[in-house]
Amino acid sequence: MKILISDAFDVTLPDKLAPFGEVTDDTSRMAEVDVILVRSKTKCTREYIDAAKNVKLIVRGGVGLDNIDVDYARSKGIQVFNTASASSIAVAELAFALMIAVPTRLVEAHMGMTEGRFLKKELKRTELCGKTLGLVGAGNIGTELARRAVAFGMKVVGYDPLLKSHDFVNLVGLEEVLRTSDYISLHVPLTDETRGMVNAETIATMKDGVVLVNTARGKCVVEADLVAALTSGKVRAYATDVWFSDPPDPSCPLLKAPNVIMSPHIGASSKENMLRIGDVVVRILEDFIRSTV
C-alpha cells in the first residue's frame, strides 16, 4: 500500500505508518497512491480526486470535511474519514483563550508594555464569572468549551438543532442564545445554513457590547457586517482563529477593524493534538485494511 502524507502532520506519523506500506510526502506521486492524508491545505476537489487515480481512502486529520468533495469521492467508491473528536480539547482551549483575552484586556496590556506604556489606570477589566456564554453548536468542541466556562462561573446556553438534551448546557432556541448571551462562541460546521449566519440581521438581535468568538469557520460571518458592528460598538470584540481564506487576503477588512483579536488558524495545532490525530489515522488505516481483506 502507498500512502501520501499531503499536509503537515506530526513528525512521528511516517514511522507509525511504515508498517502499512510505503509512505511518501511527494505530492507529485498522487496518481500512484492508495491512501491520501490531508489536513486543511490540500483541497480535494473533483479534479484532484480524478488525478489521484488509484486512491481508495482519504483521511482528513481534523474535524470538518469542507476541503474534500465528499459526495464525489464516495460516488467513486473512495472512503473518506476525518479524525472527528481528536481536536476538541485543543480547539476549546484556544476558544477559551480568545474569549478570556477580551475581558482581561491581555492583548492591549501586553502591547502597552512592549511599547513602554504602563496602562495600569487605563485598562479597566471585567470578569467572565457570572456572564452568559452562548454556544452556537454544542457538539464536541462546544461541550469542551462549556466545561471550562462553567468552571469559571459562567452560565452556558446553547443552540444545536441536532441535540435533544445536554448534560450541562441549557439548550434553547437560536434567537434566545443571540438575545441573552454576553459572549457568543461558534462551534458549527460550515454548511448552507451556517454560512454567513453572523450578519447585520442576526447581530441586531444580540446584546449591545456582545463578544463574539469564532473557532469554527471564517465564512460563518459576513465580514463587512461584522466590521460595521465593531466600529459602532454594537459588538465589543471579535476574537477569531478562522478566516475567509487561509491566510486572509490583505484586503480582509477584519485585519484593520477595531477590537479584533486574531490567531492564524491554530486551533488544532497543539503538540498533543497532532499526536492524537496521528493515532486516530493509524486506527482508521487498521480498520480500512481489515475491511478490505
Nearer to ligand NAD, 103 or 134 (CB): 134
CA distances from 172 to 13, 109, 195, 231 (A): 42, 36, 21, 29
Q: Provide the minimum distance between the beta carbon of 179 and ligand NAD in the complex, in angstroms, as a whole number.
A: 15
- List the one residue from 162, 164, 167, 208 that touches ligand NAD (CB under 6 A): 162
Q: How far apart are CA 182 and CA 273, in angstroms?
A: 30
Nearer to ligand NAD, 233 or 247 (CB): 247
CA distances from 161 to 172, 176, 193 (A): 9, 13, 11
**Strand, coil or helix: 108:** helix
H-only helix segments in the chain: 13-17, 46-51, 70-75, 88-104, 106-114, 140-151, 174-180, 200-204, 223-232, 271-292
Q: How far apart are CA 132 and CA 158, in angstroms?
A: 10
> Is 161 an interacting residue with respect to ligand NAD (CB under 6 A)?
yes
Q: Provide the minimum distance between the beta carbon of 99 and ligand NAD in the complex, in angstroms, as a whole number.
A: 13
x/- track of binding to ligand NAD for residues 10-49 (CB under 6 A) = ----------------------------------------
- List the one residue from 96, 241, 261, 285 that touches ligand NAD (CB under 6 A): 241
- For residues 184-203, which are near ligand NAD according to CB under 6 A? 187-191, 193-194
> Is 134 an interacting residue with respect to ligand NAD (CB under 6 A)?
no
CA dihedral for 28, 34, 39, 42, sign (positive or negative)? positive
Measured from each CB, the residue nearest to ligand NAD is: 139
User: For binding to ligand NAD (CB under 6 A), which residues are involved?
Assistant: 62-64, 87-88, 91, 136-142, 159-163, 187-191, 193-194, 215-217, 241-242, 265, 267-268
